Structure 1
Amino acid sequence: MKAISAHYAKLLASSLMLLLVVVTILFLLLEMAPGSPLDALIGDAPVSPEFEAQMVARFGLDQPLWQRYLSYLARVATGDLGMSAISGRPVTELIASRAPYSLVLTAWALAISTAICIVLGAVAARTRRRWLDGSISGGSLVFFSVPNFWLGLMLVWLFAVILDWLPGSGSSPHGEFGVRPEYMILPVITTAMSALAFQTRIMRSSAIEALGQDYIDTARSKGLGANRVLYLHALPNAMLPMITIIGLNIGNLLAGSVVIERVFGWPGMGLLMVDAINQRDNMVVLGVTIVMTVMIIVANILTDIVYGIVDPRLRARFTRSARSQA
């Protein structure tokens, strides 16, 4: 038990250090970028020196860089991500209104890509070195290489412009809130494609490796059919590496949502971040980055926990470590 606690304590400490590094680097990069939130807020409109000085003091631009950095870290530690220089609303409020859209998109894309990759990977492993395996492997390589934004634009052009079957932008009709199923189809397909291609290749390799183990030969010697050997014996063990891949893909999907949401006008955190970058709204950019980083860290920690539960080898390693310390 002590070994497990020490392992997760180290994991949590390294995750917090990673978050600090991400915040520090992005804070410095935004400070070095040309322009300032004040330029975006005032624009070309003539303003009095008093008003400009008031804005500078309001956003702390009159303070030294190190003081603004430490002040920002102190606020983040209390859950305060600052105020938007453009809308004047708290960043946490803006993110809270957009996060559900990004989470819905990521969850559906991850669920669909995982379910399909298990089937395709198993079929490819079962038909290894045949035409079906070649088709699945080749298709995975192609879709893994295709940029998400290009695929999204092509889907919009085909299904929204040419065929007029599906809406190509937004999450619901104009003036309505929430998510309508028909608005989800194209962004979910686009988001899921790269994850599906990568997961299918990993699943195929893992299933082929599992089919070459000794316990598979034992199952075959008992007269079990090929399908029963594959689905009852090989796939459960082949799924272990997929747990790690699924956890990593959560981060990839969240990061990719910045581009996908822009293509489809999906009102999630990615679109919020792109708009904030264009408007030089640094607090919003930092806030979205922090929230996404925390989501990825939590996903990785949960992946580690689940892997430790389902993998008997990892449990045995912790048990031996605990016994050696006793």
Structure 2
Amino acid sequence: MIPYLLRRLLLAFVTLWLAASLVFAFALLLPGDPVQAILGLEASPEARAALERALGLDKPPGVRYLDWLLGLLRLDLGESLRYGKPVAELLGERLPLSLFLVLLGLGGALLLALPLALLAVRFPLWDLALSGLMAFLQSLPTFFLGVVLLYLFAVHLPLLPASGFPGWQSPGEALRHLLLPALTLALARAAVLFRMARGSLLEVLSQDYIRTARAKGVPEAWVLLKHALRPASLPLVTVLGLEGGFLLTGAVVVEAVFALPGLGSLALTALEARDYPLLQGLVLAMAALIVLFNLLVDLLYSLLDPRVEYA
């Protein structure tokens, strides 16, 4: 287990290095002049030269790349042009909210998908209706789903706050403000988890040991929960790692709908302001979170199935 963990950590480090290199390369390949985009056409040569020095654009690309990598090792992502603060500081302020929102959405999607998949497998009459409902939810754009939920639970039935975030000083109030955004993310991704869980359960239920358990008179509910659920969870865990990445990108739209001060709203502000250092830091932070999600998924396999060997 330890050698495998060390190899996975090394692979994660290499993946982050490749992601950082791609982020830097894309910044170089962006069309147009970033200094002109930020200052406008009427900027003086002195102002242009000062901004070029601040962005490091007066150095050769190879030198700038090495400075970028050395800065990453020191957790120095540069300074935001829009906020005038270190990018790492801005990410540290916004990351907890976005990460908690993604974890809430992922947990909610799993809590919705798994019981419904068990119900669909146990009662075939429900299968068609639940599959159709999940397909319908999957077809809805995330922003539309968020607006519908906002109207239902914040305007028509004023049960939850419509937007904003009060901070972490009051955990209960903070959770109330995050329930609707988390439910939006959960409903948007529950359909994928439902289809994976349903298909995996059907495959496991066709195995010989399941037929043996049924022949011995084991109740069907116990067959599902005791004998089928755990082995059927392995493919689902793999999808959970991928869904973490989808939820991170989906959080950009959800945070805009519900006016949450997370990474998503920060990314939109950086795009509008042409804040290239902040955009680079945001892309790299999201890549690092996706790598972390997939690393945790790999380690969860041994907990779900002790037969898994780490070669």
Residue 119 (structure 2) pairs with residue 123 (structure 1) = yes
Note the aligned Cα RMSD (angstroms).
Answer: 2.4
Post-superposition offset of 1:74 = 1.6
Which region of structure 1 is more displaced relative to structure 2, 296-305 or 93-102? 296-305
Matches within 5 A, 1:204-283: 204-283=198-277
Report Cα offsets for 1:280-316 as digits up to 9, x if no partner. Answer: 111111111111111111111111111134323322x
Structure 2: gaps spanning 5 or more residues: none
- From 12, 30, 42, give the equivalent of 1:15: 12
Report Cα offsets for 1:152-211 as digits up to 9, x if no partner. Answer: 1232344444554433322239xx997623321221111111221110111111111121
- From 63, 74, 77, give the equivalent of 1:67: 63
Report Cα offsets for 1:113-164 as digits up to 9, x if no partner. Answer: 1122110111111123x2x111111111111122212211232344444554
Residue 54 (structure 2) pairs with residue 55 (structure 1) = no
Contact 2:231 2:304 in 1 (8 A): no
**1:34 corresponds to:** 32
Contact 1:37 1:282 in 2 (8 A): no
Which region of structure 1 is more displaced relative to structure 2, 152-161 or 68-77? 152-161
Partner amino acid for 1:230?
L
Matches within 5 A, 1:194-213: 194-213=188-207
Query: Alignment identity in percent?
Result: 36
Post-superposition offset of 1:108 = 0.9
Distance 2:6 2:35 in 1: 39
Distance 1:181 1:312 in 2: 36
Residue 148 (structure 2) pairs with residue 150 (structure 1) = no
Contact 1:114 1:199 in 2 (8 A): yes
Partner amino acid for 1:306?
L
Matches within 5 A, 1:296-307: 296-307=290-301
Report Cα offsets for 1:16-56 as digits up to 9, x if no partner. Answer: 3332333233323233233425642x457x66543443332
Post-superposition offset of 1:272 = 0.8
Report Cα offsets for 1:214-248 as digits up to 9, x if no partner. Answer: 11112112222111111121112212222212222
Contact 1:37 1:279 in 2 (8 A): no
Which region of structure 1 is more displaced relative to structure 2, 53-62 or 14-23? 14-23
Partner amino acid for 2:133?
G
Distance 1:271 1:243 in 2: 29
Partner amino acid for 2:282?
V
Partner of 1:312, secondary structure, is coil
Matches within 5 A, 1:64-213: 64-128=60-124, 130=125, 132-172=126-166, 180-213=174-207
Contact 2:149 2:180 in 1 (8 A): yes
Partner amino acid for 2:50?
Q
Partner amino acid for 1:50?
E
Contact 1:202 1:242 in 2 (8 A): yes
Calculate the TM-score normalised by the size of structure 2: 0.89
Which region of structure 1 is more displaced relative to structure 2, 302-311 or 85-94? 302-311
Distance 1:300 1:269 in 2: 20
Partner amino acid for 2:191?
A
Contact 1:38 1:55 in 2 (8 A): no
Partner amino acid for 2:134?
S
Paired residue total: 308
Distance 2:10 2:133 in 1: 40
Partner of 2:164, secondary structure, is coil
Distance 1:78 1:212 in 2: 53
Closer/same/farther in 2, CA of residues 309 and 158 from structure 1, 3 Å limit: closer
